Every structure is written in C-alpha cells, then in structure tokens.
Structure 1
Amino acid sequence: MQLKCVIIDDEPLALEVLKQHMAQISFLQLVQSFTDAVAGEAFLANQPVDLLFIDINMPDKKGTDLVQSLAQKPMIVFTTAYKNYAVEGFELDALDYLVKPISFERFARAAQKALELSQLKRSVKPVDDCLYVRSEYQLVKLPFADILYIESVEDYLKIHLATGRPVMTLMTMKAALDKLPPGQFERIHRSYIVSLSKIKSIINRKVALVNGVELPVSNSYVDVVRSWRR
C-alpha cells in the first residue's frame, strides 16, 4: 500500500528534513511540498491525498485553519515548534503531533500510525457497530454494545465499558457524539454521555445505570431526559 502525501511548512529547513525522512519510508509517496500555505491549500482542493504533514504556525495561514477549510480531509499530522498547540490539533482529529526538531524515529512512528489506520479503514465494512479511538499509541475498537457511559476528564474522554478497564482518548465530547449512532447515546451533562440501553432507572435528576453507577443530569439536559418518559 502506498500513501500519497503532501508537506506544507513555511520553514525550508524543516521542510527538507521531512522530505528526507519521507524518502526513507517505502510506503510514503511525496506528491508535492509547499512553503506557502495558501498554495498548498489550493493544491489540496483539487488533488486529494492520503496524508498531510502540516506546520501549525505559519505566517500566511495557520495549519489548523487550513485543515478546517478542506472539504475532503486526509489523515493529518501536525508539525510545530510549540507544544501548546497539541490540544487544538487533536480536536481536529489529527493522527499525530510532531514537535520540532523531528527525529526520524518519531516521524516513522507517525507514518506507521497512518499506514495502520489506512489499512483498518479499508478493511472495515461501511456499516459498523463500533467506535474507533486512539489510545496509548494504538487504534482501539470499542463495540457500541460494550459502552456504558463516556466521561469528560479535562482534555480527554474516559470511556467506561461493561467489561474491562476504561479507555482514555484525547477527544472532545462533540467529536464523540458525532461518531456515536443517534438514538443509542445521549448527553445528560457537560461531562457525561450515556448509552440508553444501559440505563436501569431515572430518579429525580440522576440516571442509574445497570452497573450501579449514578450520573447527574445537568440543567441543560433535563428536558432531554424528560422526553424519554413520554
């Protein structure tokens, strides 16, 4: 399998390092590279690729803004000299985040993630019954039927399962809801999403689950919970 790649970085030296790293990995094919973010954006609008390595902090356009503007988003690996951009990058479902100077070993790990994700996507049936999340440097498959509830913990989500220990992943609540099947999961609090099939009872403003856990219902979601009783 070959992954078609584009690199966008306004620093010529950093761009050259990425090109050298890429040349050493057989399954990566460099289609084009740009030091101009606007030119790179125009190219991607007409030439979809599999994988994009892009700097976040560029003078003509931020990498995060460029990614958001793309109608067809490839797998994204952000590169930057600033660690504090990591959360912003992952909120855009970035595959990885590389801090400069980027070693070949770290670049190769990101490339391997891209290959594994691409292979998995090709093997997954169009209609699936699982949630896929990145946790501890691997892609984890979580059947919807196993999820009890999802808890927001700062920048992470803690996915509580009927069997096994919880799974931690860097994702927003909104991103999780977008990936979950409608009608099977509902948000009841800024910090909680529940599986409707795992609810045992609703008492006042608490939702009791089949495993004995009780979760609060916040003011914003009281009407949602009340609608289940109609």
Structure 2
Amino acid sequence: MIKAVIIDDEPKAIELLQGYIDKVPFISCSNSFRNPIEALVYLEEYTVDLIFLDINMPQLSGMSLLKTLKNPPEIILTTAYSEYAVESYEYKVTDYLLKPIAFDRFLKAVLKLKGIDNTEKKSKNPKDTIFIKSGHQQYKINPSDILYLQKDGNYITYYTSNKTILARQSTKEALEILGDRFVQIHKSTIVNLDHITSFDTTSVIINTTKLSIGQSYKVTLMNILTTEK
C-alpha cells in the first residue's frame, strides 16, 4: 500500500484528491494539509511514499517546500499554472497534474507508482510469507497461494485452493499485508491478479468462481488488467 499525503491550500482540491485516492486500491491517504509548514513538521516525523503537492500556496510555495526535503518521496505536483512544468522536472517529479484534475489523468499518474513499496516488503519478508490471525491461531501462508478474499461484516475470508481462513480484519488491513498483485474489485472483494483466468467489464473469474466488479473500482481495474504483460 502506497502511503500518500496531500498538501494544498484549497479545501476543494484536497477533497477531490482524497476522493480519487479512495477509488484506487493500492494508495491510502495518510494525512492532508492546507498549511505547508505543518506538512513539513509532519514529514520530519513520518515516512510517506508519495506527496500530492500544490505549487501555489501562501507562506511556502510547493517548489520551495520541495527544495527543503532532504530525501523526498515520490512527488506528483498539482497546479492550475502550466508555466511551472519545466522547472518541476528539474526535481525529477513523478508527474505534473494541471487543475482541474480529471480522474483518468490522476489514474495515469499514480499507475506509474504501482508497486514502489515492493522492495521494502520483500526485504522484510524474504520468504514471501505472512501470518493471518484467526481466533487464537496464527496461520502462516504464502500470499501467492491466496486466490481471493471476501469481506462480510467485521470478518474477511481468505480463499486458497485447498482451505479458507476467517480473520477479523478490514479490507484496508488486508491490503496492507498483501503484495501489489492484490487489488480490490468491490467493497467486499480483493483478488489476486495472478489467479484471474478471465474477465469482462462486470466480473472476473478465478478458477470457477465468478466475482462481481464494483462500479467505483471498474476504471482502475480495467487499466491494470489491460496493461498486464
């Protein structure tokens, strides 16, 4: 899961980006700031993977803030002014989004970052195994063996080819421990991309199980599936 923060002095701009982030299963918004100084204080204490950074802000511009960061994470600049584009690429930013930002353009930018946390996850867990708590038991499992997950109330069920594991967990918590091959396709369903045998615009098939695609997840999922190599 890519942890992002939003820095923008316009409340409506923050609200728009937060709404877009909520539609993308591999990104979460850790915090948002209208005051860039408060954002700098936060970034000194917490590590994030991505910053959505407005350029024109009072007190401290986005470009000035970028210059103060010693080890900046991935940066996606957001602005209503195109004249900053040349300067922005001197800082090797990931992308440059012109306001008003359309969702398809936002999605194109964040898809560049899909999987940026893979190296860290693999170094922490070189055997590619995770532990899932079910009741008083801890089950050791290889994520590649998981076919899909389905949420029901406060519980989520992990389906593999030979067993199921019931855990008290949210979809967000599940995505945080799984790798980038897992995507949410419905408010109650997460799938392993490697086990999808076929799909259309309304559902995916894993082995013989048909799983519905939620309307708000359709664009993101179709972009991922159609760019798979």
Match of 1:102 in 2: 101
Separation (CA, whole Å) in 1 of partners of 2:52 and 2:22: 14
Distance 1:105 1:45 in 2: 32
Q: Which amino acid aligns with 2:14?
A: L
Inter-partner Cα distance in structure 2 for 1:70 and 1:27: 25
- Taking the aligned partners of 2:96 and 2:117, their CA distance within structure 1 comes to 18
Deviations 1:100-149 (A, max 9, x none): 000111111111011155558989xxxxxxxxxxxxxxxxxxxxxxxxxx
AA aligned to 1:66 is L
Q: Of the two, which has the highest radius of gyration?
A: 1
CA distance in 1, matches of 2:8, 2:68: 17
Describe the SS at the equivalent of 1:66: helix
Aligned position for 1:17: 16
Match of 2:73 in 1: 74
CA distance in 2: counterparts of 1:118 and 1:110, whole angstroms: 16
Instruction: Report the equivalent of 1:153.
Output: none
Give 1:131-146 correspondences, 5 Å limit: none
* C-alpha distance in structure 2 between counterparts of 1:62 and 1:74, whole Å: 17
- In structure 1, C-alpha distance between the alignment counterparts of 2:53 and 2:120, rounded to whole Å: 22
**Corresponding residue number in structure 2 for 1:33:** 32
Identity of aligned residues (%): 40
How do 1:140-219 and structure 2 match up within 5 A?
none
Q: Residue 84 of structure 2 corresponds to which residue in structure 1?
A: 85
2:49 alignment counterpart = 50
Residues 160-187 of structure 1, C-alpha deviation per residue, up to 9 Å, x if partnerless?
xxxxxxxxxxxxxxxxxxxxxxxxxxxx
Return the offset for 1:65. Answer: 1.0
1:59 & 1:45 partners in 2: Cα distance? 20
- For structure 2, the 5+ residue unaligned runs are 123-229
Contact kept? 1:45, 1:71, Cα under 8 Å: no
Partners in 2 of 1:121 and 1:85 — Cα distance? Answer: 33
Considering Cα pairs closer than 8 Å and 6+ residues apart, tell me whether 1 or 2 has the greater RCO: 2
- The answer to whether structure 1 residue 4 and structure 2 residue 3 are counterparts is yes
Inter-CA distance 40–105: structure 2 relative to 1 (3 Å threshold): same
TM-score by length of 2: 0.50
Task: Give, in whole Å, the separation in 2 of the partners of 1:60 and 1:12.
Answer: 17
> Distance in 2 between the 1:102 and 1:112 partners?
15
Within-5 A mapping of 1:112-123: 112-115=111-114, 119=118
CA contact (8 A) 1:10 1:58 kept: yes
Cα deviation, residue 72, structure 1:
2.2
Is the Cα–Cα contact under 8 Å of residues 3 and 29 in structure 1 kept in the other structure?
yes
How far apart, in 2, do the equivalents of 1:77 and 1:87 lie? 14
* Over 2 Å off, 4+ runs: 116-123
Query: Helix, strand or coil: the match of 2:56?
Result: coil
What secondary structure, in the 3-state scheme, does the structure 1 residue paired with 2:25 have? coil
**How many pairs does the alignment contain?**
122
